[in-house]
Structure formats: structure tokens, C-alpha cells
Structure 1
Amino acid sequence: MNRYIAPILLVMILPACGLQPLYSGGSKGAVAATLGTISVVAIEGKNGWLMRNALHDRLGTQNNVSSQFRLVVTLDDRISGFGVRADDTVTRERRTLRARYQLISTATGETVLDATAGSDAGIDVVSSEYATIAGENSALENLMQKVADQIVTRLSIYARGK
């Protein structure tokens, strides 16, 4: 009997804390509606193409809706070696991806949100150059997904408070 009391008390106390779901209302809610009106400005290079696609997938941008906001993203992608053998060959690399993004109101031209997001990944450097390049590309794709998630989460928090 005691094991049922704790969950029931928790359920009764939870509404009193003021927490509300970020995406309440689902695809018809305020956050989803705002995210659907953000257009992502083209980002330079292969990395930019990957990031823009990741953001479009998450934002649910609707083609027939006029944009209320423009999202401008600048990427900084670096690979640095940090595991070094006695013969000065690198055995491990760190790929770091940082994104500075600005949400700009199309009506006023005002920057309503200016923030950064970032993540990094470790890559083993092996004797096969092909395998190392494949590892670097996989790391880039994973980092793009993580950073896009961070950006959309921050945009959602902004849209919720709007």
C-alpha cells in the first residue's frame, strides 16, 4: 500500500510547482506555431547545408506561412589533434562545432535573440586515412544534430515566453 502513496502524492504536488510542458498544445500550440514561422537563412558550405537541413527538420517550417522571424547562423568548425605518440603522430582528434545564432524579427529588423550553442566529439585517428575521414564526417553529422537540438530548444523557450 505504501508504494502507491508516494506516486499519488507526487502527482498531486506536481501541479503546484508551476511547471508547464514546453510544447503544450502539440502542433497547434503557441511554441509550434512560432517555430513554424522561422525561416533559416542559407549558411555557407557543406556544414551550413547540414545545419540548415537539421534546423528545418526540427522547426517544422511551413512553406505557405509568411516568416515572422529570420534565423541567421554562423558556424565555427575545428578539428585539433590532442593524442600524440612519441613519433609525433596524432592518435586522437577533437572536433568542435560552435554556432552563433541570431533570431531577427522580420517586421522590425530587431534581433530578439542572440546566443551560441556548441558541442564536441572525439575521433580516433587510425592507420587508414579513409576510416579517419569517415570518423570525422560521422562526428560532424552527429554534432550538427546536437547543436541543432540546442538551438531549437532555446528558440522554443523564447517562443514560450513571448
Structure 2
Amino acid sequence: MKRTAAALILASLALSGCGLRPLYSGGSKGAVAQSLGQVEIAPIPGKAGWLVRNAIADRLGTVSQSGAVYRLEVELDDQITGFGVRRDDSVTRERRSLRARYRLVEADKGTVVLDATAGSDAGIDIVSSEYATIAAENTALENLSQVIADQIVTRLALYAQRTKDAPPAGKP
């Protein structure tokens, strides 16, 4: 029992010195959350754009457009590719791919401070019911939009963390 307790204490001491810090320390009042709240999301065309924009906005907790320090510009590429072909040339499976190229721009200067991509794929079974196939394609798009939004917001949070910790210009 004493060995287990001693091992736990040593492990907790070792982990406390590893340098890991919570990304969202301070909760909604923390520096990263405050930075994310100052991002305006530019309109994204299409159904996929509407879904991605809403998912990002839900995660960012954005402020009013007039108080935005940054503008997020997103371009989407949504494709459905058929594969798994039968002898009669009918497709049995599809892959829906959603790719995003996004840029974080300083609103007042127009300077691009972050330029990156995000993407994800989903497999869809083609069944005899056309309605079921269309429903599966729409569900895949909704799920992919959530994944893309998570990837974008995570990258924005890492950027906010990195710039928060950077020393002011001219200081070591």
C-alpha cells in the first residue's frame, strides 16, 4: 500500500514538471477563449458552407462583427466519389470528401496570420432506396462539417495560445 502511494506521488510530481499547460486555461475568461471570441467568420457559399460556418460559430462564441479583431475566410471543396463497382457498372459505395482551406486575417490590416487546411472523408453505402442514399449523403456532410469545424477551431486556438505566449516585439 505504501509503495503504491509513493509511486502515485512520484508520478504526479513528474507530470507536474512536464511543461503541459491546458489550452483553455481560465475558461471563458482566459486569453485563448477571449481571442477566439474576436473572430468574425466570413460567409461561406453553399450548403456545406452554411453547415461549417454555423459549426465554427458555435465553437468560437463570436462577438459582434464590429468588435472583431480577426476575420476567418474559408473555401470548401465538397466531392462525392463512387467506388465499389459491380459487374453491371452500378456503384455500391461512395466516399464524400470535405476539404477546407482557411485563412485568419487581421481585420484592420488585412494581413494573413494563419493559412492552413482541414479535411475529412466519410464512406456511404449505396442502397436500393434513393431516399436512404441521399439521407446518408446529407448525414455524412453534417458530420464532416463538425469535424472540419473542430479542426479549424483547434488550429485557431493553438495560434491564439502561441501568440499569447510570444514576447512583445523588441523584447527577448
TM-score range, shorter-chain basis? over 0.9
Q: Is the 8 A contact 2:40 2:65 kept in 1?
A: no
Change (3 A) 1:65 1:6: farther
Q: Distance in 2 between matches of 1:75 and 1:53?
A: 14
Q: Distance in 2 between matches of 1:110 and 1:13?
A: 42
Using structure 2 for the length normalisation, give the TM-score.
0.91
Say whether residues 1:143 and 2:135 are aligned partners. Answer: no
Amino acid across the alignment from 1:151: I
Q: Distance in 2 between matches of 1:64 and 1:78?
A: 31
SS at match of 1:127: coil
TM-aligned CA deviation for residue 94 of structure 1: 0.3
Counting aligned pairs with the same residue, the percent is 64
Residue 76 of structure 2 is matched in structure 1 by 75
Say whether residues 1:108 and 2:109 are aligned partners. Answer: yes
Residue 52 of structure 1 is matched in structure 2 by 53
SS at match of 2:159: helix
Change (3 A) 1:3 1:37: same
Q: Is the 8 A contact 2:103 2:115 kept in 1?
A: yes
Q: Distance in 1 between matches of 2:65 and 2:111?
A: 23
Q: Distance in 2 between matches of 1:64 and 1:75?
A: 22
Q: Distance in 2 between matches of 1:116 and 1:64?
A: 24
Task: For residues 79-109 of structure 1, give each alpha carbon's deviation from its aligned partner in whole angstroms, at most 9, with x where no partner exists.
Answer: 0011111111100000000000000001211
TM-aligned CA deviation for residue 3 of structure 1: 3.4
Residue 158 of structure 2 is matched in structure 1 by 157
Residue 84 of structure 1 is matched in structure 2 by 85
Residue 21 of structure 2 is matched in structure 1 by 20
Moved segments of 4+, more than 4 Å: none
Q: Distance in 1 between matches of 2:114 and 2:23?
A: 18
Q: Is the 8 A contact 1:99 1:118 kept in 2?
A: yes
Q: Distance in 2 between matches of 1:41 and 1:84?
A: 40
Q: How many aligned positions are there?
A: 162
Change (3 A) 1:4 1:36: same
CA radius of gyration, larger in: 2
Residue 30 of structure 1 is matched in structure 2 by 31
SS at match of 2:17: helix
**RMSD over aligned Cα, in angstroms?**
1.2
Residue 122 of structure 1 is matched in structure 2 by 123
TM-aligned CA deviation for residue 134 of structure 1: 0.2
Using structure 1 for the length normalisation, give the TM-score.
0.96
Q: Is the 8 A contact 1:37 1:65 kept in 2?
A: no
TM-aligned CA deviation for residue 65 of structure 1: 6.3
Amino acid across the alignment from 1:49: W
